[in-house]
Structure 1
């Protein structure tokens, strides 16, 4: 009897910031292994948003395939809800349901794929799914964690749950307190992911994220020497952090950027913004986007647009539909009336925008996907970090790579117009400091191109992982 084909089951949490890198990795796996199969799986609600049903489809097909000759299949699992995560839903309760139903239905998917003659030979799972490794282990299938944040943040989480948690917990209310993790430069409490400071409190709305992060590190401990962690970075970007990882098999395989069709849970605006960019001079446009989760109150929208207008530069600003809806109708109507130099869209193809020669600066929340995309495109950044890994990501941008500046918010957490203007000037004017930032951005762009190109460090690491998956199939 012939051996099964290598078959990767890629599992991810139903946030756009998780779906995007997971789906990009799925397509990279297909490109690296022409004989491999990939099944991509997220929750039913996210799946429906990625593949809206046509009228004749009823509730939509459970299985969707794409252009890879049937080698890439989309098959959702259940999170125990009918509607997915709702804005007013208690996140701790949602995670409990997600863990229980996710583990049960992913087990069913593994069994069903085996019954169809497409047995899974490797499970790949992203953050917040520690149970995926247990489900895979129960069926004798090896697994790998796909860490979609920097290696430096992985080290913070690892050491927090391996001896350094006590000192962080004791000083978690002092953002200026300095803590040292093996292999990293000294960090303040304020630089750490808020899931390791604020979410320690059982009453915090993200407390189950803290618990899940602990479970994830315990899962890696259970895997022991067999534990494999793929990281969406390249060794050149985080050489010192990678040297401090220790015995865990960490493979930097990124930055993993889009290829082929771009699927996601947000509908893009019509591409009029690309025509708008085409009419702008080289390196003149400020691109502004704060990701798929960050919210903005009316005061912040007002200050942001005022600062952009007063900068005197053309700008393309993403203000999601849900943020517009949160504004009063009259305020939403006034939004476009305030625009003299810029254009506002609800969503866009970010890599396409960052790749455009007209874009000279990215005002960003510093989500890791956005940071990597900006580095890969050689665009300097103005960093406005919020939660999770974003503050550490900003440290990498400003301190380690010197490709951007960090904006300061006021005591109320609002980014003021004057600070918007100051930071934009700092990376886009004619000063020596701005010229150095642009030079460094160009340097890192070339380094990333080499790492992800044929024979580069990330390409070699991914190929080694694929080869290991092929051996697992035998």
Structure 2
């Protein structure tokens, strides 16, 4: 099959779209024809991206095409499965009728029904893990049909711990929050995880693509059958996006001096947390670039007053091109929610991390950053789940202060940067793995 047609489907969240788009680019480089599809209410995100030349885009319905916040509605995942299955099957049939038969369907986490649709239409499928291999190993221990923790335990308490090969002991605060009954999404997402695992357990030849770095979590990768490392799925060079005034501001700062702070496209910070971040950054007396998203709500007067007190050594923006910022020579530290995309981007750019996880897999990533990979430090929250200003200052000093801890972190940062860059270069392991995988699709 000289130019197979690959259909990649993902939810409309940027945490899902960004890696699937990078994978599409890599598939195209390997000789495939590509279509990327997301839910109807996220279709505009795909249309607005400048870097999809030669890649077709499409959409499927989740039953809530006009509601961008539909995922927060109780029962949303049921609607996504019920409506999405029919809509995706229709999309694949339409592509076939237009002469674009789908030779492979790639789907992301939280869309297990896509694999069922593919199987019913005799289309090979593969799952792209957009979280770490370690997180998937945890999901397996929680949700597999044989001895999964949520299957054999009626009650899961905070004393729960888990020992996985090659890792430190994982405790309650280290697990992905969706796997815990304290999460409002626990029932829905445990069901989704069980459906993922059920399909993979039943599939005679399961295909699992991992968005990770070779050697990052080898024991977890080894535990996943037929796992193929195709990451890190991070833009390899400047995307050509307009830099804006923040880039000129970065140009004026010394090398490795700037603290870059961003909590991604989904996390909503409380007013106390925003205040503590601003106080901590200003009191640290280090230059900082802070991203506070504009979510359409009026800003609290206290936050506005604090921002007005920031001098030339601080800049607050509503958005920035993160991969470009992290690659800027002035940036010396990344204060992050520790989403998987951000975690990989920091490694590729060679920037140390202060991890302030909010939810989902971020807690597990933060654990790994501090105790396994060594490329940063995890901030400690108080009883109100807020990282206080003194803790922010402590973490920044530990990472940027030049002491023994900072030197150890620097060595780990350099190590993973080298491994990541080697894996994604022409002829690197990621490219070779993907080419072999594509050649094996019948």
Partner residue, 1:338 = 309
**Per-residue deviation, 1:178:** 2.3
Q: For residues 192 and 238 of structure 2, what CA distance do their matches in structure 1 show?
A: 32
Q: For residues 136 and 7 of structure 1, what CA distance do their matches in structure 2 show?
A: 14
Partner residue, 1:59 = none
Gapped regions of structure 2 (runs ≥ 5): none
TM-score (norm 1): 0.87
Q: For residues 449 and 300 of structure 1, what CA distance do their matches in structure 2 show?
A: 34
Instruction: Summarize deviations over 1:319-339 as a string: whole Å, max 9, x none.
Output: 1111x72534x4564353032
CA change 1:321–1:126 in 2 (3 A) is same
Q: 1:94-113 maps to which residues of 2 (within 5 A)?
A: 94-113=76-95
Residue 288 of structure 1, aligned match among 261, 271, 280: 261
SS of residue in 1 equivalent to 2:290: strand
Instruction: Summarize deviations over 1:259-298 as a string: whole Å, max 9, x none.
Output: 58969xxxx8862111110110000000001111111121
Partner residue, 2:228 = 251
Q: For residues 207 and 436 of structure 2, what CA distance do their matches in structure 1 show?
A: 12
Residue 157 of structure 2, aligned match among 169, 173, 189: 173
CA RMSD between the two structures: 2.3
Partner residue, 2:189 = 209
Partner residue, 2:8 = 10
Partner residue, 2:38 = 42
SS of residue in 2 equivalent to 1:286: strand
Partner residue, 1:28 = 26
Q: For residues 4 and 235 of structure 1, what CA distance do their matches in structure 2 show?
A: 28
TM-score (norm 2): 0.93
CA change 1:343–1:151 in 2 (3 A) is same
Instruction: Summarize deviations over 1:152-188 as a string: whole Å, max 9, x none.
Output: 11111122223141598466331x4322245644211
**Per-residue deviation, 1:432:** 1.8
CA change 1:261–1:130 in 2 (3 A) is farther
CA change 1:27–1:304 in 2 (3 A) is same
Q: For residues 411 and 2 of structure 2, what CA distance do their matches in structure 1 show?
A: 49
Residue 218 of structure 1, aligned match among 195, 198, 215: 198
Determine if the alignment matches structure 1 residue 315 to structure 2 residue 288: yes
Determine if the alignment matches structure 1 residue 276 to structure 2 residue 245: no
Query: Conserved in 1, the CA contact under 8 Å of 2:46 and 2:57?
Result: no
SS of residue in 2 equivalent to 1:251: strand
Determine if the alignment matches structure 1 residue 51 to structure 2 residue 47: yes
Runs of 4+ in 1 over 6 A off after TM superposition: none
Partner residue, 2:142 = 160
Q: Judge which range, 116-125 or 443-452, deviates more.
A: 443-452
Query: Conserved in 2, the CA contact under 8 Å of 1:230 and 1:253?
Result: yes
Gapped regions of structure 1 (runs ≥ 5): 53-63
**Per-residue deviation, 1:195:** 1.5
Q: 1:74-85 maps to which residues of 2 (within 5 A)?
A: 74-85=57-68
CA change 1:65–1:418 in 2 (3 A) is closer
Query: Conserved in 2, the CA contact under 8 Å of 1:46 and 1:84?
Result: no
Q: Judge which range, 161-170 or 89-98, deviates more.
A: 161-170
